[in-house]
Amino acid sequence: MKYEKLFEKGKIGKLTLKNRIVMPPMGTGFAAASGEASEEITKFYEERAKGGVGLIITEVCRVDELSGVAQPCQLCATDLNVIPSFTRMVDRVHAYDTKMFLQLHHPGNEAFPNTLHGNPVIAPSPVPCKLVGVVPKEMTTAEVEEMVKKYVKGAYIAKTAGFDGVEIHAAHGYLVNQFLSPHTNKRTDKYGGDFFNRMRFLTEIVVSIRFACGADFPISVRMDAKDFWDDGIDLAEGQHIARYLESIGVAALNISCGTYESGWSVIEPFTFEEGWKKDFAKNIKACVHIPVIAVNTVKHPAFAEQLLEEGVSDFVAVARGNLCDPEFSNKAKAGDDARVRKCIGCMNCFKMAGLGRAIECAVNPVLGRETYRGDDKLIKNGDGRVVAVVGAGPAGLQAAIVLAKRGFKPVVFEKASCVGGAMNLADKPPCKHMIEEFIETLTLEAQDLGIEIRLNTPGTVEAVKELGAYGVILAAGGVQIVPPVEGIEKAISYDKVLSGEVELTGKKIAVIGGGLTGLETAEFLSDRNNEVTVIEMAPAVGTAMYRSVTDAVVAHITKNGGKIITSHVFKGVKDGAVVMNSLASGFDIELEADACVIAMGVKPNTALIDEFEAAFDKVAVAGDTLNPGNIPDATHSGYDKAFVF
């Protein structure tokens, strides 16, 4: 076996796990609105159990219906009526010898008012979460005591339903963490003040659950090693908390860090390397004797094994890796690392959750749709019929893969000398190497299915007609947006910069466009000793990306001396300058620039669509050809269009 430590058995209390891979809690939005385990969330967890995970810890499960709502559709353990659905979910996970914990949760001051149906946001003290922006109501002593009972009831429901244990969410700035941290706990009653009083709320929860459910029913606590508040929990305090929790009978510690106000540290975008916070877990592990679970931005099975070899933790938590590929564990066990669809850190999953929707994944279009998509749901009626796929980008390759699994014979036309499409540019800015790995994985999947890919071969109407194709999927990409302004012929297109066809070093450069394309082009150029200015017509840049991604890219540009100018319309290019118009003043302004790079993205290729629809009866259009977007838009549309035929 390639990864011996990763697939050793492990113990949490008296519970034996078949390996050291844990799927930690991630809010999904897949549960029923009633709080019951829907078929969607049950199938989601079942697929990860089937994929080989040793322990699944569910998403946040609310223990209070009034003030404890984190998502409109989340698991809920406040009433015994959820037990039948929970039991069905646990049974289906247990079928694969995977264990399951229910995570008990309350958001405290991180609850958004629009989810609480008019009930107040509550917290230990009236200290607001800056992201939410609401001063919470301070809980009375009696309300704190009542909340302890709600956690205990949740644990009782979990045990009755057949869960193997529970986890108390005491990290990420949520309610329990707010009691632990001096930053948010300003109380003067028995639940505030010194260390032991700040620990009292969690102590009563743990001790009461042990009394109600028995000492052999394991309790894990998810805790922050550091909360990134200046007056909050630092690593020394985290170690103190860890030792104390061990002393009161906690069976395992699940180590994380950060709060909503340092969101980048809780769920990291692509700018963070694997294991950037591994010292947090390693220092906690060094001071306790109970097992430590830890998240560490794990993307590769080899890195998970390395964490165990280094003694960073006893169990490796693979979060988004299990969203991207439910077979992560099985593929790791087989040593088939290259075929794991790995997280690219785009934050699309969290972006969807932030919008109040169920999560979606850029590299796994089946996520959350397991009940009606996925290999076991494919209608295999292709009968060897040929379908032409024009374009070998993410939309085209994903479509071809699904078509092949359905029994069609896809033939992919690609005008370039390699597959990947626009991803071959998207992987060039800093920290985007995971996109290159995604291209490699898609290529392997296509090869495994025997898909014919014709490189250096444009997918023309004539070429497709020669195939005698049953149908056509157009995924040839969009058409670059080039504004019709004076002097535009002097500008350089972003693709020539990112591909290396044009090299710019030590120049003053105006980058036109503050979307994903423009920002990442500017970031790329700023790393090459250029003085970059991004010009955007809208009042803000990067609005289509998740906030932490935009913030990271903008910070990189400004750190290198670059500037962002918003609310200015690009008017033209002159020798040594670009012209822009201020929407605030109405005046034209000239900005000194040695070069102007157009990076406004692409628009639909309507001419290509019209040409193919005139020539063929069965035409489906995917990706940027129809709706310009990002990688998740491409993979989802490619997957879905493969069901048209």
Could you give the residue numbers annotated as active site? Answer: 174
d(CA 377, CA 642): 13
d(CA 591, CA 573): 10
**Angle, vertex CA 273, rays to CA 365 and CA 319, nearest 5:** 40
Closest Cα to residue 317, out of 294, 299, 297, 345?
A: 294
d(CA 111, CA 132): 7
Closest Cα to residue 369, out of 360, 356, 379, 381?
A: 360
d(CA 224, CA 180): 10
Locate 77 and state its tokens: 């353990």
> Per-residue DSSP letters for 261-300?
GGHHHHS--TTSPTTTTHHHHHHHHTT-SS-EEEE-----
Closest Cα to residue 626, out of 601, 605, 600, 602?
A: 605
d(CA 295, CA 277): 9
Helix axes 516-526, 547-559, angle to 10 degrees: 30
Closest Cα to residue 126, out of 169, 174, 185?
A: 185
Locate 21 and state its tokens: 């891979």
Phi, psi of 521 (to 5 degrees): -65, -45
Closest Cα to residue 479, out of 605, 599, 355?
A: 605
* 447-478 burial code (b ≥16 CB/10 A, e <16): eeeebebeeeeebbbebbeeeebbbbbbbbbb
* Residue showing tokens 């230990």: 124
- Cα 625 to its chain centre, rounded Å, is 26
Helix axes 39-50, 83-94, angle to 10 degrees: 20
Q: Which pairs count as long-range contacts for 617-621, CB under 8 Å and 24+ apart, including other chains?
A: 618/470, 618/471, 618/472, 618/644, 618/645, 619/471, 619/472, 619/473, 619/474, 620/399, 620/471, 620/472, 620/473, 620/474, 620/644, 620/645, 621/473, 621/474, 621/475
* Residue showing tokens 């322990």: 55
d(CA 293, CA 312): 9
Closest Cα to residue 235, out of 288, 279, 185, 183?
A: 279
> Per-residue DSSP letters for 343-384?
-----HHHHHHHTTSPP--SS-TTTT-TTT-SGGG-----TT
Q: How many residues does the chain have?
A: 645
